[in-house]
Amino acid sequence: MKNKIALIGAGSIVFCKTLLNDMFNTPAVADFEYALMSPTMTKIEKMKNYARKIIDKNNLKAKVYATTDRRDALKDAKYVILMFQIGGNDAFKLDYEIPLRYGIDQCIGDSMGPGGIFRFLRTYNILRDIDKDIQELCPGAIVLNYVNPMGMVCSYLGKATSMNYIGLCHGVQTTMDLISGYTDVPKDEIDFIAAGINHMAWFLKLEHNGKDLYPLLKENMEKPEYYINEKVRGEVMRHFGYFMTESTGHLSEYLPWFRKNKKSLDLYCDQPDFGGASGAYYKFSAAVQEKFNKIDVLSIETGELEPRSKEYCSYILEAVETNIAFKLNGNVLNKNYIANLPNNVCVEIPIYVDKQGLHPLTVGDLPVQLAAMNQSNITVQNLAVEAAIKVDPELAFAAVSLDPLTSSVLNLTEIRDMTIEMFEAEAEWMPEFSKKSLKKIKDINIPDGTVGAPVPQDPALAINNRFGKLGE
C-alpha cells in the first residue's frame, strides 16, 4: 500500500476541486500520489491540469494523474474517495420529472422518495464492482463515501461489501453555522451532540458554557425573520422539540406533512431554491453542467491554495496520518450505537478518528418521536437495499410505496404505475433490473349493484347479528 489516494468520480468539478484543495492544504497528505478516475477523460484531464497548477505554484511534492481505468486508480491506494453519480443529469431529470407527472413534487430527489431510490438502484452494482477491486488491489484501504443516497449506499456497503468505509456529509457543519448565527454564539464554542440518520440527524444537545441554547433557538424560530429561512426544520422543532441537520428543501421530502398538496407546498415550501422549490437540485445541477460545458472554469484558476473547506475528508486523513484524534459525525452501520434504531442500518453518529481507524460513539436511545421519524426513512432504505441485493423489482416497488411523501400523495396502483415507468425509462443504467419486470396491477372495476360474496361468520358474531348487539 502506497501513499496514494484514489478519487473515483473525479469528474465532479465542484466537489473534486474542493477536496483536492483541502488535501493539498493538509501537510500530512500534501505529498501523496493522487489518482483521478472517471469513465471519460474530458473532465478529469481538466481536473488534473488544475491540480498540477496548484502543485507547481505552491511547490508541493504531490503527484497527480488521470485515468479511465478504475483498477489502475485503486491499485495500492491507501485511501479511496467515492463521489460519482451514475446516469448524471440525464437520469436525474427522469428521477424528478416522472414522479412530478404523478404528483410527487421533489425539491432535492437524491436521498429519499422515488428519486433517491432509483439513484441508489443505478449505483449499487458499481459499488459491488468497486468492492471486488478494492479487496484485490488495495485491501484495508479506508473508503470515504460521498455518493448519495447516503443512507442506502452505506447500508448496502455494510451489508453486501467488505469495504472499510465511512459515509460523509456536511449537514452537521453547515447547520452549526446556522445555529451559531441564530444564537449569536461562536460555532467553536457550542458543545453539541448530533445523532440519527443521514439528512435527519438530531441535535440532542446544544450548550454554551454549560447553558442550554435550545430556549434561545426556539424563541428566535418563532420570529418571522428566522422562521422564513427554515420553515420545515423550524416547524418540526416547534412540534417535536429538536432541530435537525438538513435544510427545509431536504427535510420536506422525508416526512409526509410538507409536500403532499398545494396547500402544504404554499405554506412550507414557498422559498426559492433549497428553501423548497420544485426540482431545485436538478435545476441547479443542470445549470452548473451547462455553464461548465461553455466555460472551462478550471483553466482560469490562479493556482492559489484556498482555505480548507468544511468537508471532513482532509481532516480524517490528517487524523489517521498524524494520530491526532479528530471528531466528526459520520455514517456507519448501527451496532447498538443508537439503541432504539435497528442494528445493521446506516446511522449518522459522533465518531473519533485516529491512526487506529474509526471509533464510533454510543449515543443510547433517541427521544421516541425522533426515532419514529428516522424509522420511517430507514424502512424505505432497507427495502431498497434488499431490492438491490436480491434484484427484486417488487421490493423496489415496496420501498417507493412506503416512502412518506409518496404514500401521502398516491394510491398503490398509481405508485406501481409510476415505478414501472421509471424502471422502463432508466433501464440503461440498471442492467440487472432491465432483465426483470414489475407486474402491472389494474384497479378492480365493481359494477353497480354488485353484492358481496357470502362471508363465513364466527358463531358469536352470527348470534350478535340475529339478536342485536349485546346490552342493547
Residues noted as catalytic: 170
Angstrom distance (rounded) from CA 471 to CA 46: 84
The alpha carbon of 378 is separated from its chain's Cα centroid by a whole number of angstroms, namely 12
Angstrom distance (rounded) from CA 430 to CA 436: 10
And the C-alpha cell for 446?
A: 365493481
Angstrom distance (rounded) from CA 47 to CA 50: 5
Angstrom distance (rounded) from CA 162 to CA 169: 21
Amino acid residing at 373: M
Which residues 6+ apart lie within 8 Å of 75 measured at CB?
137, 138
Which residues 6+ apart lie within 8 Å of 386 measured at CB?
392, 395
Angstrom distance (rounded) from CA 150 to CA 254: 14
Cβ-in-10-Å burial (0-12, 13-18, 19+) of 460 comes to: exposed
Q: Does residue 251 contact residue 259 with C-beta atoms inside 8 Å? A: no
And the C-alpha cell for 89?
A: 443529469
Length of the chain as a residue count? 472
Question: Under the phi-then-psi rule, with left for phi > 0, alpha for psi from -120 to 50, and beta for the rest, what region is 64?
Answer: beta
Place of cell 469528474: 11
And the C-alpha cell for 109?
A: 430527489
